[in-house]
Amino acid sequence: MHKPPAILLMGPTASGKTAAALWLAERFPVELVSVDSALVYRDMDIGTAKPDRATLARFPHALIDLITPEESYSAARFVTDARTEMAAIIARGRIPLLVGGTMLYFKALLQGLSELPQADAATRRAIDAEALERGWPALHAELARHDPATAARLAPTDAQRIQRALEVLRLTGQPLSALQNAGNASPPDFDFLALGLLPSDRAVLHARIAERFDAMLAAGLEDEVTMLRGKYPLSLDLPSMRCVGYRQVWEAQDGLAPRSEMRDRGIYATRQLAKRQITWLSNTLECERFDCLANELYDQIATYLQHTRLQKRNPAEAG
């Protein structure tokens, strides 16, 4: 039996994924599923570039607003949630369109999850102590010597992910990248059509990132962070507050970094995120690539989907 189709629309931040997904939703029998580790949080709207209420009313997105910011979400939970939503979409005679920029979630969906050790408090304390003494860039350099593939995806100040990669290395003696590549994937339940939006000119993407961050600040990002801190028991160690933008605003509010540098630090962090996302798409995830800056982007995507006979594979038309 043929597997039902599912479209994956992947790209770095500010590449226009949401706009492209909405355009496709008007022309193809699809329903949208978010693949974004920040959009799962309720009340985090401005800094995550969450679609507004009118857009969500017209184009519902599954897997948005699932948890509150003091909670955690995982790739394993995403795979379970996504498969549930995709099966429901297929049952309605529609096609799942998964859109977002959390590349680890896409990888987990496509390739399965590797067997990684549980967090070890003693190991993490030791790594944190070393970071306090030597700095996270020094630990990033150490990681690069033993696991260059993982280090290449991480910024030298990405404390959470550097800590986890070193923890896995010290607990297992094996690089995180090797364990992840081994995986334990079962054959996918869907016939995936993976589309990657990549910029032909990084400078243009960087300009978009700056414009978008300025728009977030103008829309009240600082007030949103203040509201979140008042409503929920949050700390900078939580995944929600490590999201780009939120962390930089928090640090400026508490005097941990100069307020005058908040904008530049937020833009820089977003550019680093985009760089990691592009690395994932270029080196790890197989996809049909499109220039996200092309004037005819939407037509190119539509033509590709039509050539894959997507509409004929619509489960509503099967049999």
- Rounded to the nearest 5 degrees, what angle is found at the Cα of 159, between the Cα atoms of 232 and 204? 90
Structure token pair of residue 172: 């297992």
Within 8 A by CB and 6+ apart from 101, the residues are 10, 11, 12, 13, 15, 17, 35, 36, 277
Q: What is the pLDDT of residue 319?
A: 35
- pLDDT of res. 58: 97
pLDDT score, position 309:
60
Q: How many angstroms separate the CA atoms of 36 and 34, rounded?
A: 6
Output the CA torsion 36→37→41→43 (10° steps). -60
Q: How far apart are CA 298 and CA 180, in angstroms?
A: 33
Low-confidence ranges of the chain (pLDDT < 70): 1, 182-188, 309-319
Are 131 and 115 in contact by the 8 Å Cβ rule? The answer is: no
Secondary structure of 285-298 in HEC code, one letter for each residue: CCCEEEECCCCCHH
What is the residue type of 228? L
User: What is residue 312's predicted lDDT score, i.e. its pLDDT?
Assistant: 45
CA angle 150, 47, 16 (to 5 degrees): 75
pTM of the model: 0.81
Per-residue confidence (pLDDT) for residue 174, from 0 to 100: 87
